[in-house]
Structure 1
Amino acid sequence: MESETPPVRGRFWPSLLIGAGAAAVMLFPSWVGGGILPLQNLWHEQTLPDDMPFSLLPLSQYYAINIWVMLLLGGVVAGLVVRFAGRRWMLRPGPAALGVLLVHLIVTLQAFAVLGAGLGLWDGTAGAREVLYFGGMLGGVVAGILLAQLGLWLTSRRSVGPVALGIVLAAVPFANWIGTAITAFTTYMGYPQFIADVLRWLPAVIVGVTLAWCGVRPIGRLGVWVVGLLSVWIVPALFTAIMYALGSRVFDGDLGMMAEAGTQVFPQAVAVLWQPAVVALVIGVIGVVVRMLVTRTPGRTSVSPQREV
């Protein structure tokens, strides 16, 4: 009985550290340059950009998508490490999820404490707009934290189907994260066009390869195909609409105008961003056909029907 105790402890702490490490690594683009809080439109004191306080999250409506992506991918990366290295390192998803959550709670509490002080929430000088802005940013961050947990539990499963589902849903956010990391080391004005082109097609490649790995049997995995193809098409359009609605100063915090602008841009973006879905479908189909041909090659042992869901 006593000999069973050390392995249990050994699985808990490495798993916890993997989760915490993955969450921290995915947040590092926001810490490049010192982790300075972006300039705020509603700040109660006139402050130069370089004099803004330290913050573990770049809280601003202009970086809302970037924050959400960094939080989400912390859980997804931790789940993938548990999935593909779990047996060798004796990792468990529960402690890994706890590690991700601890890091996310720490950065959230610190960042919103700083933001609340600058907006006047703690001394009672904040107005309705400041409260609305604070609540909106907090709601977005909480959503990112919850989705990170969902992403971890999907990608840490032993079954291929849930893991593939988690990967295809994270493909577009992953490309966004790479772009955020690049601009963190250069300038927030953007990056060369060839990098933008690579990042545009990268999710299609990720989704296509994942669908080929996932396969089409059992028949329930076709749902992963549908979700993957829709995600590589719809999610970029959704990000474009949200960034347009939140990033335009013309709306001046008018939620009605922002919602109307987003709903107008979204169908326009959907109409022009369909090509990556076609590329992902082609890669996935070719991959499945190649796998079928390989498994039917003479001299190979026939593959029994897959039992994973």
Structure 2
Amino acid sequence: MKRFAPFFILIVVFFTSCSIPQYVTVPVNYGPKMGFSRDSTTIVVVNRYQPDSVKIRDYRRINVLKKMAVVSLQTAADQLKYLKGVHVINLVDSINYAVNTDSVKFLAAANKANYVLVLNDVTAGIYPETVYYNGVASNYYATKIKTNLSLFESNGIYSKKMVGMAEVPQDEVYSGGFASLFYRSSYRSSVPAVITATREATLDALKDYLPFSISNERPLYADDGQLESSVMQIKAGKFDVAFKILNPLIDGADVKLASKAAYNLAVVYEAQGDIEEALKTAKLSNQKHPNDYAKAIIVDLMKE
């Protein structure tokens, strides 16, 4: 046994030196970035999208695309009507799927509307995806949707393009490898995922006008006594206590500890909804000592 003692000592040292990251769920709520200037706003919702039957010969795929168009416009109408002062007139024909060819100016005047929301295009794709967890591959099909809408002012001249994208995994899996080249999930079997992704893509297109929330799973540094204490306070939602622990560490002589403290503090700011300060502190963390946690949160915060 004495011969193997150094080996066991190395194992103990290795595992004690490798800290297991702890995570915290950070919900972030956002208000609309844009609004309508009038106290009372009327928006007409119409369909201008017609699947190209020349390019698409499969009638089942055309029917799915038509269903997606109706779902997209109904989702937009349902969401916009909840905004303060907004009245929605939905002219979408969900039964006969009629495409409205009237001019924006005519539609606005006929309905006494301030804006006209139209669907220009909706596209769908089904792709095989592979993810790895602990070195084990997991294969699945992903439905990817893109919606293209335009919000016109009543004069029919000025408009804002709104493009949204979403990806939803399907229940159906594929075997992967060479066999996947000869088999692809059908649109018919993908309808539930397609509808879900269409709704999410539409919400993504309207995100500037709608309040929304996201949840981020943030890793935290806890490989130091004070850092571990800050993690306990963050998980308990006691952000003021976590701030008092972390803030003095940022200016300390130990740059690695300062960097980790700054990162944990950036998570605190994000959890409190102060995205500007969170981004500033995350950048400070990476400046003091480059680290993957800070780089990842910086990318996310710049998008937020």
Shorter chain as denominator, the TM-score bin is under 0.3
Rg larger in 1 or in 2? 2
Q: TM-score, normalised by structure 1?
A: 0.23
- Normalized per residue, the structure richer in strand is 2
Indicate the structure with greater helix content. Answer: 1
